[in-house]
Amino acid sequence: MPNLVLASASPRRRELLASVGIAVEVRPSHVDETLAPGLPLEDALVQVARRKAQAAAGGDPDAWVLGADTAVVVDDRVLGKPAGRDEARAMLERLSGRSHRVITAVCLVGPGGEDRSIAVTTRVWFRALAAAEIAWYTGLPEPYDKAGAYGIQGAGAALVERIEGSYTNVVGLPLAETLALLRGTGIPPWERAAGRVPRAAVAGEDARP
């Protein structure tokens, strides 16, 4: 039976899938995450998500693999994960009192190498942050493994005024859109609840007993 594989070490992505009953095999992939210059950002992120999924597939003929890549964008500048407290502080000062975009690209690579992809954008508004708030938040471990130096699902929620669009996209995986991507394979997501799907269904055959 084909495996459903998550090409990410992110516990947040795994937990989001688990929250709707989908178990996955986790296979973190290590690829060049440099965004291709000259491409629209969404397309460049899809390229990275595709590279992650293809690397995690590793020639496995039975694997359906999900790859994802998230970017926080303000003033057309992509904010990655902060290297330390000074960089985290600078990022939060840049985000303070204004809006930014969170874009997540998701690519599903199937047996035979076929792939389907999406890119989802959410607009996030931060409150005007006091220096003491930024000092408090950057003193936590939370910001340092997250693009843009905040996690909306944790203490970072205190920094956010409002959002427009998918909340789970900001967490790291646009869940509704990812489930639609899975349904597009012809197999309902709930049939993947154990991380596996019937071979006959994948082959497009009648899966009745």
Task: Tell me the catalytic residues.
Answer: 69
User: At which residue do the structure tokens 């409002």 appear?
Assistant: 162
Average pLDDT estimate for 5-28? 90
Give the phi and the psi of residue 108 in degrees, each rounded to 5.
-110, 115
Domains and CATH numbers, the chain: 3-202 (3.90.950.10)
pLDDT tens string 28-66:
888 888 888 889 999 999 999 999 999 988 767 777 899
pLDDT tens string 114-161:
889 999 999 999 999 999 999 999 999 999 999 999 999 999 999 999
User: How crowded is the C-beta side of 179, counted as CA atoms within 13 Å?
Assistant: 17
> Sorting pLDDT into bands at 50, 70 and 90, what band is 192?
low
> Sorting pLDDT into bands at 50, 70 and 90, what band is 25?
confident
Looking at residue 138, its pLDDT comes to 98
Looking at residue 195, its pLDDT comes to 44
Distance CA 158, CA 134 (A): 11
- DSSP labels, 63-127: EEEEEEEEEEEETTEEE---SSHHHHHHHHHHHTTSEEEEEEEEEEE-GGG-EEEEEEEEEEEEP
Structure-model confidence comparison of residues 199 and 169, the more confident one? 169
Looking at residue 205, its pLDDT comes to 32
pTM across the whole model: 0.85
Q: Which two tokens stand for residue 90?
A: 């600078």
pLDDT tens string 73-97:
999 999 989 999 999 999 999 999 9
Distance CA 69, CA 78 (A): 12
Looking at residue 194, its pLDDT comes to 46
